[in-house]
Structure 1
Amino acid sequence: MEVNILPEKHCNFDCIFCPIGKSQNKVDTQKSFDKVDRSLVELNSMIENTKAELIFINSKGEALVNDKIGDIIDLVKTKGIPVRLLSNGYLLGRDEYIKIANKCDEIVGEIKVITEEDFQKVQRPIEGYTLVEYISNMVSFNKQYKGKFIFEITIIKGYNDDETSIQKIKNIINEISPSTIIVARMEDERFNKKLGITDERFEEISKELLNS
């Protein structure tokens, strides 16, 4: 069962191709949201009614900024159900977020571009963020993580679909050493024309990365 724990987009990035839209709340520190207690009761009821086998926290932005995320994970775990958390991965280098992420059975981290210039230009992170630190945070997190680290790579035409980029991605995969690799591409029709790649090229890249 997928769960969104943010009422609107709150993220430390403001990617130009985000399907949720522009980030009005660019944050990387935790904040409180209204009606969380009521939502926990609803979540408890939904878990029991659906007989969910896994809870996937897949939110509008970076779920780690919800200051009740630890309570949400704890609730799910009391039911004996595993938790998968999607994070862009940048915050996995901070102690307070490492502690929360370590409660989860599965963590999904991701990467979309592989040059500093593109990272700043199209992912538009909080000022001071760097691509080197982004990758380093996921590397250091996974070295101490006991669960399953899933690394999702989105292939974007003109940004990371050439052979040089693919080799760089392979190097990043080797650094992070994830449990599982997911190779994805732009699915949103609004971005497909400019940023989508052909089925044939996607198949080539997928095979090369999955065999790395």
Structure 2
Amino acid sequence: MSNFSYKDVYIEEGKRVLEVNILPEKYCNFDCIFCPIGRSKNKVDSPISFNEIDVDLNELDNKIEETKADLIFINSKGEALINNKIDKIIRFIKNKGLIVRLLSNGYLLGKDEYKKIANDCDEVIGEIKVITEEDFQKIQRPIEGYTLDKYISNVALFNKQYNGKFIFEITIIKGYNDDEKSINELKDIITKINPDKVIVSRIEEEIFKKKLGISDEELQKISKELLSYN
């Protein structure tokens, strides 16, 4: 039985994108209160060994052939980098001549062993959701010892040496980073990280949307300000 799971292929900028989750369940270094996957029972930031992945790679190979994918997006239940076979997975995809995109929350990109793995990807997505240390600890509930400053620094230092396309996703959360002061601070963070592309998103899950979501108008206004700044 495979540990991987997939989303339906979709078209993005003319490329067929196949999203793959390489974790059997949620493993993450955060435990965000608004995570659509639920609580982090497995709160980790070191490599985890899962079963041998020959079956998983055979299934991935079949999915690639079936969907005629151009880009494989490693978008997992938690932090994909903690799968100790992720380097093998990335090499498998690259050897097929396909583009590899990796989503990481970004904290582990400050560690050399993870930086090396991410450097093999054509595209890396890092993200930010809050801009104060208090909110970082309160609603993202990271592993003890993590700080927001270190989080931002890890992402900035990674991108400084990264030769691929770095995409920075900013999630706007009502009451946490949607005011003018927060938007200006986000601009400073964008400058520090210097991404190739910025994506501005919002909380979409129905269970959290009423309390933490912003309106279409607010999203459009904030997006315009942050995207034009980049």
Letter in 1 for 2:191: N
Alpha-carbon RMSD: 0.7
Task: Choose which of 67, 77, 84 in structure 2 pairs with 1:67.
Answer: 84
What is the CA distance between 1:148 and its match in structure 2?
A: 0.2
What is the CA distance between 1:48 and its match in structure 2?
A: 2.1
Q: What TM-score results when the alignment is normalised by the length of structure 2?
A: 0.91
Identify the residue that residue 80 of structure 1 maps to in structure 2.
97
Letter in 2 for 1:28: D
Task: Choose which of 186, 201, 206 in structure 1 pairs with 2:203.
Answer: 186
- Classify the secondary structure of the residue corresponding to 2:126: strand
Identify the residue that residue 128 of structure 1 maps to in structure 2.
145
Between the aligned residues of both structures, percent identity stands at 70
Indicate the larger mover: 183-192 or 48-57: 48-57
Is it true that 1:155 corresponds to 2:172 in the alignment? yes
Residues 22-171 of structure 1 aligned to structure 2 (within 5 Å): 22-171=39-188
Q: Distance in 1 between matches of 2:63 and 2:167?
A: 26
- Classify the secondary structure of the residue corresponding to 1:211: helix
Letter in 2 for 1:41: N
**Unaligned segments of structure 1, at least 5 residues:** none
- Point out 4+ residue stretches in structure 1 off by more than 6 angstroms: none
What is the CA distance between 1:49 and its match in structure 2?
A: 2.3
Q: Which has the higher contact order (CA 8 A, sep 6+)?
A: 1
Letter in 2 for 1:190: I
Indicate the larger mover: 184-193 or 30-39: 30-39
What is the CA distance between 1:37 and its match in structure 2?
A: 2.0
Q: Distance in 1 between matches of 2:150 and 2:197?
A: 21
Q: Distance in 1 between matches of 2:66 and 2:40?
A: 34
What is the CA distance between 1:203 and its match in structure 2?
A: 1.1
Q: Distance in 2 between matches of 1:126 and 1:42?
A: 33
Residues 171-182 of structure 1 aligned to structure 2 (within 5 Å): 171-182=188-199
What is the CA distance between 1:204 and its match in structure 2?
A: 0.9
Alpha-carbon deviations, 1:5-50, whole Å to 9, x = none? 0000000000000000000000000011125221011112221222
Letter in 2 for 1:95: D
What is the CA distance between 1:51 and its match in structure 2?
A: 1.5
Q: What TM-score results when the alignment is normalised by the length of structure 1?
A: 0.99
Q: Distance in 1 between matches of 2:140 and 2:195?
A: 22
